[in-house]
Structure 1
Amino acid sequence: MKTEKNLENQKRVRWRTFLKDVFICSLGSYGGPEAHYGVFTDQMVIKKNYLTEEELVELIALTGILPGPSSTQTIVAIGYKMGGPLLALLTMLVWALPVLILMTLLSFLSEFLGNMNISQDGLRYIGPMAVGFIAVAAYHIGRKVVTDKITTLLLLLGIIITYSIREPWIYPLVLILGGVVSIIVSKEKNLWNHVKINPPWRYLIVFGIFAIGGILLNFIWNNRIVYLFESFYRYGYLVIGGGQVVVPLMYSELVEVNKFMTNQEFLTGYGLVQGMPGPMFSFSAYAGGMAARGGGVVTQILGAMAGGIGIFLPGLLLIYFIYPIWENLKKIKGIKVALKGVTAVAGGLITVAAIVLMQKNGFMIDNIIVVFITIILLLTKKIPAPLIVILVLIAGFIL
């Protein structure tokens, strides 16, 4: 009895420690999924060894093919690996809830914020800092995934194609292409051995019930909150490629078609989320709250909740369905061979993210200095990610 109690206490401590590390990742994650992967590599792989570089790249490749918020799905999958469905849910909450609450509050202040001429200068070094995180992640991941001539060529292929074609559909396509090439050139025999996988179909059924039920309920009941939930849920399962991809879809429907908010109000919220840590999909709470204005405080909060829950729920359910069979799927020799190519291409995608983000920020001398200082601090492993973020913010406001 005493032993069971001790084990339970140890488990609670481990979960608490893990969730603290998730919160650290959330505080240090700026700039979209590719930059988030740099923080995950630093905190979850190098500092805490919750998983290996190979496992992280496999998850990045898997979530790159799935619809939904890719970096959120990646960290939720790590939570599932560490403690099953409950810890995965807690991981999701710790990762996303703080910024969702903040973006909900900002939906009440949108008019005030829109009228204020708030300087963005203090955030100008966040981009170069994110480049440093991505560069270090690309270095660590590249060392693991490039093992021979084929993986080297696939990494270069990933870099060239995704740099040349800046469209969201190219990412899953090039990942699948990497796997196909790896299988074609493989000399392995009997690639498709039988493995028992037992998929948890209940999660896929729930996924379908929400998708179809939302459409039907919206059709028969003219309710703003129901409409918002169905819309954001639809965004969550139709979009591959992260927050930058879903924003144009939101803009078209919420601003141009339904006129729930003005162009300026939408852009104010989008500008604010750029300076927030955590997932960019948190913009949905702001957009949902703005779209539900006019019905009172409670209605606006419900609108923000409909946006936040709606957009994250499909990706969460898909991870709950896929991850439990993922480890067994990898036991199939053909899948294992394909993963060598997929992860090599994924390494190329992360490298391109650093190049593109640096181009967007500009190659000014101060930006280059911030990138190199970030890389040095990460490689020495002496300063945690949130402290680096604080130092960069201070430097931005002082300089």
Structure 2
Amino acid sequence: MHDANTETPFDLPSHSSPWTLFCIFLRLGLTSFGGPAAHLGYFRDEFVSRRRWLDEHTFSDVVALCQFLPGPGSSQVGIAIGRLRGGIAGALAAWLGFTLPSVLLLVAFAYGFTLLSDATSLHLLRGLKIAAVAVVVQAVWSMGRMLCPDRLRATIAAASAITVILLGAGLGQIASIVTAGVAGAALLTTSTEVPSAPPGMPGSRTGALACLAAFALLLFGLPAAAAYLHSYPLDLFAAFYRVGSLVFGGGHVVLPLLEAVVVPRGWVPANTFMAGYGAAQAVPGPLFSFAAFLGATSSGHPAGFAGALIATVAIFLPSFLLVGAALPLWGRLRAFASMRRAMAGINAAVVGILLAALYDPVWTSAVHSGRDFALVVAALVLLGWWRVPSWAVVLITVVLAWWFV
């Protein structure tokens, strides 16, 4: 029995203007602290409980779909909701509103960080790096409990961590993801429960295939074009596009891939990278906006606002293409049990990749003394047991690091 005043998600009127979507997601982008899981909670409260644009089943379907795609899961859910309510323009408006606040804050931090005195920047850097340790420890623990519930997946995670440490971040991550997918498909006997595709998913099979073709063409074509043309902006775009295409698990998992891209090439110093990552914990919105900080502080030309724009667009573009391809094809993809088992294996590998990143560069660059370790413990207690928001923990840790010089 349905309430007469309740609007089902695909009944008329089901269209929202891009401006309406932009304003709604801008408010969410200004207030959604706490990482991807918290973002999904904010989305559910806004679009299921308050606005009744989606019912629980449809919202769960969209979330499940985005968990099966590489890239930032919460941002992809926002893009999908925008696509459902306002077409392609709605998807762009939703992404822009949700992402803009964190991008502007991190670009402002990038400019301010370079203007600080050496002593001030060292104290700030120490606090931010220590806060990053605590945040990543909590992420590894919570993701491990959820994605590695049995011995086989725990073993896949451990093997992935060892592989990344022995082979290095770049080759090790790709090898881990591929191997884990094959192992999951062949060995796992349980799979993630995948709900049926909701009715009314937008797009056509032709459009979905076009998005997939564009995704693959850019993934393999951009690096070749950048190498042939010797163009730094194109190289920057290609590098961040590749990261956005290969990150399974979203959120903190982007850290090791980004570090492998920008630090060894000399685009961003390791200390600056960790300072920016710590600052990214203190801002609302998607963690993938960290790309804006890296583009703004990169050593090449352009940097600043132009570099931030290139890096931000590049790292989120794969999400648009993958969501555009997946929405119409979701019903077909979910029918393959082997695909669900492969994704379960890949998700376990994600935990291992993040565990390796916790050791290097996060822990090795931040913890050098007993005082540093004490601050990590304090930050972990605040995050895990007192449930203090991550942005507040970052600020508290910076103050404590400054105090305990």
Superposition TM-score tier, normalisation by shorter sequence: 0.5 to 0.7
Query: What stretches of structure 2 of length at least 5 have no aligned partner?
Result: 46-58, 191-196, 247-255, 281-286
Size of the alignment, in residue pairs?
A: 344
Gap change, CA 1:104 and 1:317, over 3 Å in 2: same
Q: Residue type of the partner of 2:350?
A: A
The structure 2 residue matched to 1:336, chosen from 330, 337, 340, is 340
Query: Is 1:244 paired with 2:254?
Result: no
Q: Name the CA shift for 1:210/1:129 in 2 (closer, same or farther; >3 Å).
A: closer
**Counterpart residue identity of residue 155, structure 2:** L
**Could you tell me which residue of structure 1 aligns to residue 39 of structure 2?**
44
Instruction: Confirm or deny that 1:124 pairs with 2:126.
Output: yes
Q: Distance in 2 between matches of 1:321 and 1:346?
A: 24
Q: Could you tell me how far 1:17 is from its partner in structure 2?
A: 7.0
Q: TM-score, normalising length from structure 2?
A: 0.63
Alpha-carbon distance between aligned partners in 1 of 2:44 and 2:137, rounded to the nearest angstrom? 19
Residues 286-297 of structure 1 aligned to structure 2 (within 5 Å)? 286=296, 291-292=301-302
Match status 1:157 vs 2:153? no
Pairwise CA RMSD: 5.0
1:2 CA displacement: 8.3
Task: Please state how far the C-alpha of 1:123 moved relative to its aligned partner.
Answer: 3.2
Within the alignment, does 1:282 sit opposite 2:297 as a pair?
no
Distance 1:267 1:385, change over 3 A: closer
CA contact (8 A) 2:106 2:293 kept: yes
Q: Provide closer, same or farther for how the CA distance between residues 94 and 117 of structure 1 changes in structure 2, counting only shifts above 3 A.
A: farther
Q: How far apart are 1:228 and its partner, in Å?
A: 5.7
Shift, 1:48, TM fit: 7.4
Say yes or no: does 1:181 pair with 2:183.
yes
Matched AA of 1:169:
L
Paired position in structure 1 for 2:322: 319
| Offset from partner CA, 1:377-397 (integer Å, 9 cap, x none) | 333464322222222222223
CA contact (8 A) 2:161 2:352 kept: yes
Residue 378 of structure 2 is matched in structure 1 by: 373
With over 3 angstroms needed to count, the CA separation of the structure-2 counterparts of 1:7 and 1:151, relative to structure 1, is same
Q: Which has the higher contact order (CA 8 A, sep 6+)?
A: 1
Amino acid at match of 1:312: I
SS of 1:200 mapped into structure 2: helix
Alignment equivalent of 1:235, drawn from 219, 232, 239: 239
Deviates more, 1:351-360 or 1:14-23: 14-23
TM-score by length of 1: 0.64
- Distance, in Å, in 2 between the alignment partners of 1:121 and 1:165 is 33
- Equivalent residues in 2 for 1:53-132 (5 A)? 59=67, 62-63=69-70, 70=71, 73-84=72-83, 89-90=92-93, 92-94=95-97, 96-98=99-101, 100-101=103-104, 113=115, 118-132=120-134
Aligned-partner residue type, residue 398 of structure 1: W
Deviation, 1:333, is 0.9
Distance 1:216-1:184 versus aligned 2 partners, 3 A rule: closer
Give the AA of the match of 2:400.
A
Structure 2: how far apart are the matches of 1:237 and 1:271? 21
Query: Against the structure 1 CA distance between its residues 218 and 327, is the aligned structure 2 distance closer, same or farther, given a 3 Å change threshold?
Result: same
Partner letter of residue 348 of structure 2? A
1:103–1:282 contact (8 Å) kept in structure 2:
yes
5+ unaligned residues in a row in structure 1: which ranges?
A: 29-38, 64-69, 189-194, 253-264, 294-299
Separation in 1, partners of 2:40, 2:13: 27
Counterpart of 2:209 (choices 187, 197, 201) is 201
